[in-house]
Chains A and B, each alone.
Chain A
């Protein structure tokens, strides 16, 4: 019943000129998302990473836990600045509520996210 999570990887350039990897999610972000998200994350390199939620409509607490795990891995690696964009206003509120905004910049769209890095 859960819409499978698809993760597409692309690159962009931050306002500062630095290269940025973008992981664009589609489908549900739920318990079944762990493998596709963390595998895609593991295959990335570079200092700056953006997570694009504009292709997702359903995120639950299990999905949020996977994003926290990704942020934790990035922090442990000591090499990543992570930003998030494309969340609906509701999920932007939920991500702020659980404290993710302390560890990743939440931006409304890709342009704002690239400008924040």
Chain B
């Protein structure tokens, strides 16, 4: 696969369509030679980024869409998930299972934690509508370590 052979997927703001982006990212990573377990990490991270964009960025508004741009590099795959929201202001606290099990913390709220745990880089950028995005990077060489 040539560097710069980017693929863009446009999703409606409806839960479930994150699986389309997830499958596309998995196909691209497979072509690039990622190991099966890294592809699984990527699938979950991409799905969670799209769910955040659909639920929180676009507020499930079916007139808005989520853009997912997959850009292969020599040794990495970059994924941008773009929505019409204002972006994430500050990072949510790391989920605490003990607090959740004590009823002191919402059982939800693990998406960003999973994204950060499963890819090599995750950055949230705020912008005007249609310009807020999360940028994920997963590196090929990690599996050699």
Contacts and interface: CB of A to CB of B under 8 A. Distances in A.
B137 interface: no
Given A90-B41, A98-B95, A98-B110, A72 B103 contact: yes
B62 interface: no
Nearest to B43: A90
Interface in B65-116: 95-98, 100-101, 103, 106-111, 113-114
Contacts, number: 72
A36 B17 CA distance: 21
A105 interface: no
Given A68-B101, A103-B101, A1 B107 contact: no
Given A90-B37, A90-B44, A71 B51 contact: no
Interface size class of A (residues with CB under 8 A): 20 to 34
A60 B96 CA distance: 17
Interface residues on B, range: 20 to 34
B37 A99 contact: no
A94 interface: yes
Contact of A1 (B15, B108, B109, B113): B15
Given A61-B108, A72-B101, A103-B101, A90 B40 contact: yes
Nearest to B47: A60
A contact face: mostly helix, strand, loop, or mixed: helix
5 contacts: A60-B51, A61-B51, A62-B51, A64-B110, A69-B107
A25 B107 CA distance: 20
A97 B96 CA distance: 11
A99 B40 CA distance: 19
Contact of A58 (B19, B20, B100, B109): B19
B37 A1 contact: no
A88 B107 contact: no
B27 interface: no
Contacts of A28: 16
